[in-house]
Amino acid sequence: MRLVLVGPPGSGKGTQAEKLCERLGLTYVGTGNILREAIKQNTPVGKIARPLLDQGLLVPDTVVNDLVAELFRTARPERFVMDGYPRTYAQAIAFDALLSQQFLKLDAVINLTIADDEVVRRIGSRRCCSNKDCGVCYNLAFRPPKTENVCDRCGSPLSLRDDDKEETIRRRLVEFHRITDALIEHYRRAGLLVDVSAVPPMETVYKNIERALPQQ
Ligand code: AMP
């Protein structure tokens, strides 16, 4: 099974990617993780990526395309889930070319759908530990702390992160749609797109994804 996962921030994309890997034995390919590792190792790519990640901006297409191409040429994952790549139309075109060079075909692109207002509600009910060494996050709706506004792990007060404020989330969502709509249309035209609602509980979303996957 070769999959791409697409979804806005707050859609639970990372969780679903993890479940797919665990339960279907797929290799996880997350460009966010690869970039964070490059930053930690201070590689030439890491040096380019650091200020962009700090500001929440996208790394240039050519840089991520090269990273993914290198990974497919060396590690050659045969069955995988892509999380966070392709993220732009140009990346999708480069990925199509890479896969065809490797004689690999995508089976499906899972599009996790959720209304912007629901994302704002979800992320807005996140509360994170104010102690930087702890940083555990809770969700008042799905995973509340045992005592209101107090971290279960270290007892520090919880707060709403600046990143999780409504204005910031709305800005990120506008950017997400501006960039991702063309990518989604590309895969819809290719007959690969599968829309799955990200609104139900995570386990139901996972079951719906499995049900929607082409039979192997
Ligand atoms: P993520 O962990 O997927 O949220 O990615 C974290 C950050 O890494 C993003 O905000 C971007 O700065 C960068 N990034 C990850 N994947 C890509 C990509 N496919 N294209 C450009 N930038 C990316």
Query: Which pLDDT tens digit goes with each residue over 21-72?
Result: 999 999 999 999 999 999 999 999 999 999 998 887 899 999 999 999 999 9
pTM over 0.85: yes
What is the atom index within ligand 1 of the atom nearest the CA of 91? 19
- What pLDDT is attached to residue 54? 84
CA–CA–CA angle 90, 93, 97 (5° rounding): 140
Whose C-alpha lies nearest to ligand 1, atom 4?
32
3-state secondary structure of 156: coil
- What pLDDT is attached to residue 154? 95
Ligand 1 pocket member 53 (CB < 6 A):
yes
Ligand 1 pocket member 85 (CB < 6 A):
yes
Asked whether the beta carbons of 83 and 29 are under 8 A apart, the reply is yes
- What pLDDT is attached to residue 143? 87
- What pLDDT is attached to residue 72? 94
Q: Predicted confidence band at 118 (pLDDT cuts at 50, 70, 90)?
A: very high
d(CA 167, CA 161): 12
Instruction: Give domain 2-208's CATH number out of 1.10.10.10, 3.60.21.10, 3.40.50.300, 2.40.30.30.
Output: 3.40.50.300
109: Cβ contacts below 8 Å, ≥ 6 apart: 3, 4, 5, 6, 184, 187, 192, 193, 194
Q: What is the mean pLDDT of the chain?
A: 93
d(CA 207, CA 210): 5
CA distances to 21, 135, 139, 154 from 164, rounded to whole Å, are: 28, 14, 12, 22
Distance 154 CA to ligand 1 centre (A): 30
| Backbone angles phi and psi of 112, in degrees to 5 | -80, 115
- What pLDDT is attached to residue 187? 97
Q: What percent of the chain has pLDDT over 90?
A: 79
